[in-house]
Structure 1
Amino acid sequence: MMPVPDPHPDVFDTQWPLRVADVDREGRLKFDAATRHIQDVGSDQLREMGFEETHPLWIVRRTMIDLIAPIEFKDMLRLRRWCSGTSNRWCEMRVRIDGRKGGRIESEAFWININRETQGPARISDDFLSGLRRTTDVDRLRWKAYLKAGGRDDADEIRAYPVRVSDIDIFDHMNNSVYWSVVEDFLGTQPDLLKAPLRVTIEHDLPVALGDSLEIIRHTHPAGSTDRFGEELADRTVTTLTYSVGDETKAVASIFPL
């Protein structure tokens, strides 16, 4: 990921404490909680830049999070957010979260600006773009999917994941952070993965709605068994989680040690 351009006047820099609802039983900042912080700092930066009213609605297409070192309970979080790539209707935004005790999380998310009336991609205003571009020279950002859905026939596990009313956000869809709760459920069965730096990526294809019969389809690809993720990952185990409603793939997650 792009390193933080620090110091830089256009890197949004803020702090807040780590709360009890953000951590797991061991006191580690959870991925779903980290994702909420990433969303919240984005809203705060939008307000700080003065575009909260003109560009209020965004959806995330992909979020990549690197857990470099765990951030622990009662720590103070420092969050820095800046743009790492733009186009006319979407951008990539980096967020780095540091704890005072040495914990660190790196993230990058692909955000699409949404028109309130059409609910489709909308052009980002020129004055907003000019501010975003002060931290990047990437101005023709294109979408390219990294992940492919796993099938049912060779799955290691298929399980139901009930969608709750509290999971639904203002878009009438399951909120981004809830997808990361599924990741936390998996990591709860694989504690060794949390002993080393870890990368988790989620790509969203279609929204999940209240009433959907969501299933999680898990595949584990042992080290040396495949190069489908690229030669650089052929030496490690990669787990994928496919979020499926019937025959529709809603999202795909990948999990592997760095």
Structure 2
Amino acid sequence: MMPVPDPHPDVFDIEWPLRVADVDRAGRLKFDAATRHIQDIGSDQLREMGFEEIHPLWIVRRTMIDMIEPIAFKDMLRLRRWCSGTSNRWCDMRVRIEGRRAGLIESEAFWININRETQGPSRISDDFLAGLQRTTEVDRLRWKAYLKAGSRATADDVREYPVRVSDIDIFDHMNNSVYWSVIEDYLYAQPELVAAPLRVTIEHDLPVALGDRLEIARHVHPAGSTDAFGEDLADRAVTTLTYLVGDEVKAIACLFPL
């Protein structure tokens, strides 16, 4: 991921405390809570830049989070956010989350600007785009999927994940952070993964709506069998989680140790 351009006047920098609802039973900042923080600092930066009314609606297509070192309960979080790539309708935004005492999480998310009336991708205003481009030279950002869905037929297991009313956001579909609750459920049974640096990526294909029967298909690819993921990952296990409603792939997650 792009290193933080610090010091830089266009890196948005804010602090807030790590609270009890954000941590697991061991006191670790959870992935779903970190994702809510990533969303919240985005809203704060929009407001700070004066574009909250002009560009109020964004959806995320991909979020990549590297948990380098866990951040523990009662620490103070420092969050820094800046742009790492732009196009005229979407952008990559980096967020670094650090604990004042210890801990580090790095993230990058692909955000699409949405038109309030059409609910489709919309052009970013020139003045807002100019502000984003002060921290990056990438101005022709294009979408390219990193992940490939696994099939239900070849899955190690498939389980249902109930969609609750409280999971639904203003777009009338399941909020991005809830997809990361699925990750936390998986990590509960794999504590060794959070004992070392870990990368988790989620790509969103289609929205999940209230009333959908969401199922999670898990595929575990042992070390030595991961040629499809590139030579850099041939020496470690890779897990994919495919979010399914019927035959439709809604999202794909990928987890592996760094």
Above 0.5 in TM-score?
A: yes
Q: Is 1:109 matched up with 2:139?
A: no
Structure 1 segment 1-258 matched on structure 2, within 5 A:
1-258=1-258
- Matches of 2:226 and 2:70 in 1, distance apart? 29
Q: CA deviation at 1:102?
A: 1.6
CA positional deviation for 1:106: 0.1
- 1:226 CA displacement: 2.5
State the AA in 1 paired with 2:218: R
**C-alpha separation between the residues in 2 aligned to 1:189 and 1:137?**
42
Q: Secondary structure at the match of 1:110?
A: strand
So what's the TM-score if we normalise by structure 1?
A: 1.00
Query: Partner of 1:228: helix, strand, or coil?
Result: helix
Q: Deviations over 1:149-186 (max 9, x none)?
A: 00111111100001000000000000000000000000
RMSD across aligned positions (CA): 0.4
Identity level (%):
84
Report the AA paired with residue 225 of structure 1.
S
Q: Deviations over 1:103-159 (max 9, x none)?
A: 000000000000001000000000000000000000000000000000111111100
On the 8 A contact 2:201/2:254 being kept in 1, the answer is yes
Deviation of residue 231 (structure 1)? 1.0
Paired positions, count: 258
CA distance in 2, matches of 1:54, 1:225: 48
Distance in 2 between the 1:121 and 1:41 partners? Answer: 21
For 2:92 and 2:125, locate their aligned partners in 1 and report how far apart those are by CA, in whole Å: 16
Give the TM-score of the pair, scaled to structure 2.
1.00
Distance 1:166 1:133 in 2: 36
Aligned equivalents of 1:79, 1:212: Cα separation in 2: 34
| CA–CA distance in structure 1, aligned partners of residues 95 and 225 of structure 2 | 33
SS of 2:228's equivalent? coil
Gaps of 5+ in 1: none
Q: Distance in 2 between matches of 1:195 and 1:210?
A: 35
